[in-house]
Amino acid sequence: MDVLEALEAETGLVAVVGAGGKKTTLYALATRASTEGTRAVVTATVRIPIFDRQVERVVVTDDPIATVERWGGDGAEVDGWPIGVVPATEGEDRYVGYEPDGIDDLAQRGLADLVLVKADGARTRELKAPADHEPRIPRTADTVVPIASVDAAGSPLSADAVHRPERVAAITDREIGDPIRPIDVARVLASERGGLANVPDGATVVPLLNKVDDAAATTVAREIGTAVLDLTPRVSRVVLARMIADDPVVDVLEFE
């Protein structure tokens, strides 16, 4: 299955949260969209590392609507998708993000077919549970993709592999230092304090298990994904993937 179809990210406003592959997923979706003639925008509501090489161009602007209109509106000045829009730089290595309401306004104008949003940070960890102020998901998001890395399973529940490990411990009823089990990853993804935090009522939720690199990882991912489907009615599909691959989808688990 095509990755855009698998994640229900073919059009609309798609917010990516969690840990273990958000940026890779955003850029892979944007690239795939461009090959299909879909006008895609990459942006963020949180800090995001410089990503100029992952898109046709990044524009630093306090008026993303006007900028995207120059690409996609009537009489567009520039031909080349996907594009990135951000409000400002922070230091030499990252951009800051827009307020979520600003992304809502951009998406509702219909100037792009697909608006891809990094709505969470995880400091390169494999699993996370958000703080009270996270994630920063636009209220009109059509699809939310909570991500976790299969590599989290088997790792100690500590700051080495987990962002905000104390919050993951609270969700899973585990102790800091305990080995993370597949069911623990599933409970985080299925929790209103984890992968479902701040998800708008009308949004579709499609969890993504990333770094499914071999048969052993596939077995673990299927165990996690099956548990997620059992734990929450908000989820009817879980995607298993290796997002760095040209054809990233390994499997799609669906509620029966």
How far CA 91 is from CA of 94, 101, 224, 254, in Å, comes to 7, 25, 38, 43
Q: Which residues are registered as beta bridge partners of 15?
A: 117, 144
Residue 79 above 80 pLDDT? no
Q: What pLDDT does 1 receive?
A: 87
Geometric angle at alpha carbon 31, from 12 and 84, rounded to 5°: 70
Phi-psi region of 16 (alpha: psi -120 to 50; beta: other; left: phi over 0): beta
Q: What pLDDT does 173 receive?
A: 98
Q: What is the pLDDT of residues 121-142, one digit of tens each?
A: 999 999 999 999 999 999 999 9
Q: What is the pLDDT of residues 29-51, one digit of tens each?
A: 999 999 999 999 999 999 999 99
Burial group, residue 56, by CB count within 10 angstroms (0-12, 13-18, 19+): middle
The tokens describing 106, both together, are 């951009």
CB atoms within 10 A of CB 178: 14
Q: Which fold has domain 3-44+112-254?
A: Rossmann fold (3.40.50)
Q: What pLDDT does 209 receive?
A: 98
Q: What is the pLDDT of residues 187-226, one digit of tens each?
A: 999 999 999 999 999 999 999 999 999 999 999 999 999 9
Quickly state the pLDDT bin for 74 (edges 50, 70, 90). Answer: low
Q: What is the pLDDT of residues 148-160, one digit of tens each?
A: 999 999 999 999 9
Q: Which residues are registered as beta bridge partners of 94?
A: 49, 90
Residue 240's identity, in one-letter code, is L
Quickly state the pLDDT bin for 71 (edges 50, 70, 90). Answer: confident
Q: Note the pTM of the prediction, 2 decimals.
A: 0.96
Give SS3 for 41. strand
